A and B are shown apart, each in its own frame.
Chain A
Amino acid sequence: MRKLIRSYTFRTVVQGLITIWAVMTFTFFLIRLMPGNPAQIKIDEYVDRYGMSEDQARQQVATLFNYDPDQPVFEQYVDYLSDLVRFDLGRSLTSTETPVAEQILRFLPWTLFSVGLALLVAFSLGVLVGLAMAYWRGGLLDNVMTVFASVIYAIPDYIIALLLIMVAGVQLKLIPVGELYGGSTQGIEPGFTVEYILDLLKHAFLPVFTYVLATIGGWMLTMKSSTISTLGEDYITVARARGLPERRLLTAYVGRNAMLPLMTRLAISIGFVVGGSAIIETLFLYPGLGRNLVLAIGLRDYTTMQGIFLVIAISVVVSNILADLLYGWLDPRVRLGGDKGTE
């Protein structure tokens, strides 16, 4: 039995590793199929700006970064792979000599902070409201919130962001949008000071608020329908017949069980936190990984793109495995059912 479990976990991990490798390889070649390459962009820049000859510029660029556009792609792939095995993501092609790993570590915290905070807020609020909606079904709260959730769920996140800026910011002047762009205010020393933390929260407000609005409707509606089906279960009727106080019933019996299907989703969502949202971060000039990826794509910074894609793929795969294991851990019924619980 123990052997079996171990082999199941082992198989999942191996499968995950293969997926990561496949995504890495696929993106590696895909990225190099993009028209234009970083060296050529730099060479053109030198020719235009400093009036160098094509050859001169080419030599200059060759000394600047160790990327040779004429090297066969497959050789580049082998080089990259051998570096990767030693946990070396290489150096950025455009901001010369900055290790990609360092760059990712610089942008990742911003994305983790903003998207993670939004996920936490949207999930907890959505679950609470969804539970209340199902419990007082047909009431005022349910009717108002169902309309709200359906509407907000249907509108794309960047449309919400634009409306926030235009209506709440520019027209009504409720939010000082101009001050809130970027990650933090220049001149405030980073550190564990109240001032800096408040500043971080202030700048994260717009993206976080947008993410919350864009996702909370989904959580509310899912929780509502999950709660409604839980309320119909026999064990709820039994608990009620036993004369348990409604409050305990709602939290310990209904709430916990209704949340089960949402936990898997939550775990999967966590995987997508890392990628952030390229478009929202670009719109609010938030210095996260998503915006950095858009910039890297524009500059054809192969190694940076490669590194970011790899990090995203790893987090998605890991969170999928986590979701798998989490479900079995949270719901003993799945565990007892043996290892056929996953597809």
Chain B
Amino acid sequence: MSASADVRAVLSEKSLVQRLSSGTRGTVRALLRNKAGFLGFLGVMFFIILTTLGPLVIPYEGDPRLDRLRPGARSLFAPPSVEHPLGLDVKGRDVLSHIVHGGGPLILTALEAGILTTIVAVALGAAAGLLGGFIDQIISAASNFILTIPQFPLLLVLATIVTFDNRLGMALLLAVLNWPTLMRAVRAQVMSLKSRDYVEAAFALDLGLWHITTREVLPNMISYIVVNMIFTIRSAMYFIIALMFLGLVPLTEPDWGMMIFIGKQQGSLSNPEAAWMLLAPVLAIALFQLSLVLFTRSLEEVFNPRLRQGV
């Protein structure tokens, strides 16, 4: 009798695990469980919809609109109104149109940087951990080296050498600077997993490095990797905007970073009327970054079944 109860318990537990890890319902539930995380998810979704579908609805205003100069006004700046919910910028253009059209390239570049960083870090970390020896020493030395040079000044120098006419170059550059942290974590994880029975068994079966890495090692740290990727996207965005902020990358409008740069150039930091031109991108960046950070909490629950059951 007790044996059948055991079996039933095992069976029900197995089905629970299956349902939670493979079913979308489980994912949705995990997403909903953490309130802050869900808020972050909504925020990220909002910005993705805003910057992908928004341009289809709201036309981009690139040319100066001198005709919008109100009688008696000294500048084209305008506070929010019904036609222009976020006001007008220094050239009388609709700020909302720049917000909608200027987020896409920025988010996409940051996303590319995040993905590239993750690929490089996981590949190098797995190689260092699994192969060990000389290769491990070289990779570890390189990561120590990159971590010693302060990132932002280095990026300032590199930004003048590599020209950014394409997004991928920028993303690649950020990946080169960002891989060491995740690489160390992957390497440490691989090292500790290497002695576990199932990985040793895989080695004994001569299953190959690729199989061991993708099937045995990575699934164990997928939650860490995903969260790390989100943080990399965040820091990539930070650096891209910082470069634009200092006017060091030749970038084109529309772009949130450019809005800040132009706003700063046009003295809107000291002009109360001009606040909206700067406030809009500043708030967009702040909210997007905040959403990303909050979102990681839900991601942790989605990708880490242990955390879900443990609550």
A163 close to chain B: CB less than 8 A:
yes
B205 close to chain A: CB less than 8 A:
no
Write 23 A-B pairs (CB below 8 A) sorted by A numbering: A19-B144, A19-B148, A26-B145, A27-B149, A30-B157, A31-B157, A34-B157, A34-B160, A34-B161, A153-B293, A154-B292, A156-B238, A156-B289, A165-B269, A170-B269, A171-B275, A177-B270, A278-B152, A278-B156, A293-B153, A293-B156, A312-B149, A312-B153
Residues of chain A contacted by B289 (CB below 8 angstroms): 154-156, 159
Inter-subunit contact B282/A166 (CB<8 Å): yes
- Give the interface residue-count category, chain B: 35 or more
Considering only CB atoms, which chain A residue lies closest to B145 in the complex? A22
Residues of chain A contacted by B152 (CB below 8 angstroms): 275, 277-279
Given A34-B161, A151-B290, A297-B156, the answer on whether A162 and B149 have CB atoms closer than 8 Å is no
Choice from A154, A166, A313 contacting B149 with Cβ under 8 Å: A313
Inter-subunit contact A158/B286 (CB<8 Å): no
- Give the interface residue-count category, chain A: 35 or more
B120 close to chain A: CB less than 8 A:
no
Residues of chain B contacted by A252 (CB below 8 angstroms): none
A135 close to chain B: CB less than 8 A:
no
Choice from B145, B150, B286 contacting A272 with Cβ under 8 Å: B150
Inter-subunit contact B157/A19 (CB<8 Å): no
Q: In the assembly, what is the distance between CA of A312 and CA of B36, in Å? A: 38
B271 close to chain A: CB less than 8 A:
yes
Q: Return B145 CB to nearest CB of chain A, in Å.
A: 6
Residues of chain A contacted by B144 (CB below 8 angstroms): 19
A150 close to chain B: CB less than 8 A:
yes
Q: Return A108 CB to nearest CB of chain B, in Å.
A: 15
Given A19-B145, A154-B292, A159-B286, the answer on whether A275 and B150 have CB atoms closer than 8 Å is yes
Inter-subunit contact B145/A166 (CB<8 Å): no
Per-residue CB contact flags for chain A residues 132-173 toward chain B (1 = under 8 Å, else 0) read: 000000000000000000110111101100110110001100
In chain A between 1 and 47, which residues have their CB closer than 8 angstroms to a CB of chain B?
19, 22-23, 26-27, 30-31, 33-35
A316 close to chain B: CB less than 8 A:
yes
B185 close to chain A: CB less than 8 A:
no
Listed from nearest, the 5 A-B pairs whose CB atoms lie closest are A154-B293, A154-B290, A275-B150, A155-B286, A34-B160
A282 close to chain B: CB less than 8 A:
yes
B60 close to chain A: CB less than 8 A:
no
Considering only CB atoms, which chain B residue lies closest to A153 in the complex? B293
A332 close to chain B: CB less than 8 A:
no
Choice from A30, A153, A155, A316 contacting B161 with Cβ under 8 Å: A30
